[in-house]
Amino acid sequence: MFTAAEVGAASGPRTPGTRPSSCRRGPDPRAAERGVLPECNSEHGRCDYYLEEFKENAYKDLAWKHGNIHLSAPCIYSEVMEALDLQPGLSFLNLGSGTGYLSSMVGLILGPFGVNHGVELHSDVIEYAKQKLDFFIRTSDSFDKFDFCEPSFVTGNCLEISPDCSQYDRVYCGAGVQKEHEEYMKSLLKVGGILVMPLEEKLTKITRIGPSAWETKKILAVSFAPLVQPCHSESGKSRLVQLPPLAVRSLQDLARIAIRGTIKKVIHQEAASRSGSGLKNTPRCKRRRVRRRRMETIVFLDKEVFASRISNPSDDNSCEDLEEERREEEKTLPETKPDPPVNFLRQKVLSLPLPDPLKYYLLYYREK
């Protein structure tokens, strides 16, 4: 998903005719967001991670690179999200976290009690990711629809992670992994965990089924730039990357999570009660007019049938009639724009008899 710019993969030679971090087949470009997180597509899309002048290309099935900033083709996100088989409360390590797009989407699934870490080689990309994360928390309605596991990013080469770091339930590497680094990547995984990475020109899913037992599945052919090899210091020692510590949430934060969860349950119960009482308003459907064909004369003679003429809708000036009917239908059924989405959690919190500072704390001081 993330390649050279994020993980430190060199912009080295690639297979002719391919592009970095692209798949050789292309499902729906919005599938990653709509399929795995169907409600996030409209509020927090891929385009939010593009620079303003490039947003028109956000949902084309192409990778995008500008300087050190990189986003993979949408089909890659779709395959990776499906292969990771994410569940609430799991720990996730993104090797080559880049813009933070994948980490934010994963955080919506992991929930508040998961772990969401990322390693990125370029410090300027880390700053870009933090800006996008802040924008997401402040503005996206997805933040209130889902319980969020906020990602933490550290700068460094993902091949130099400290050997005493914790293992993870899910690991993704967004650059081409050389065969000699396969065992290193596996060592980051807990028993029962899943590792997804490009290995030998194939997006590969590896499941750790035992301390020394693995299941490997090739998902699809891809083209990724390779990982950058570590640069040793003058003393010859590598610069070990220290991953973020596993933080313990404060009692105040846990109370906020519990209160928001309780309010969401109330909202769902109220919605179920409304939908279960009374008749639902059926949507007004556009009635289709049927043009009937007219058979003028039928004669039965010795088991044979003769029809003198069958008139078609195109006869007797029917084209003008159809056009007139179409104009009449447009007048009687004007197009109605869908109502903007309503943030019921925000409405409910603001209506509570609480001091304003406490309300805004419950809303994470969000702008909308």
The catalytic site residues sit at: 72
Can you read off the two tokens belonging to residue 222?
Answer: 């891809």
Task: Tell me the one-letter amino acid at 231.
Answer: C
Which bin fits 68, alpha (ψ -120 to 50), beta or left (φ > 0)?
A: alpha
Strand duo 202-210 + 168-173: pairing? unpaired
Task: Specify the DSSP class assigned to residue 66.
Answer: E
Question: Angle at the Cα of 12 (from 49 to 74), degrees rounded to 5?
Answer: 30
Strand (E) or helix (H) holding 189 = strand 189-199
Is the separation of the CB atoms in 8 and 124 below 8 Å? Answer: no
Q: Which of 129, 135, 131, 128 is nearest to 116 (CA)?
A: 129
Residue labelled with tokens 């290193």: 184
Angstrom CA distances, 300 to 171, 293, 297, stand at 78, 20, 10
CA-CA-CA-CA torsion sign (105, 109, 112, 117):
negative
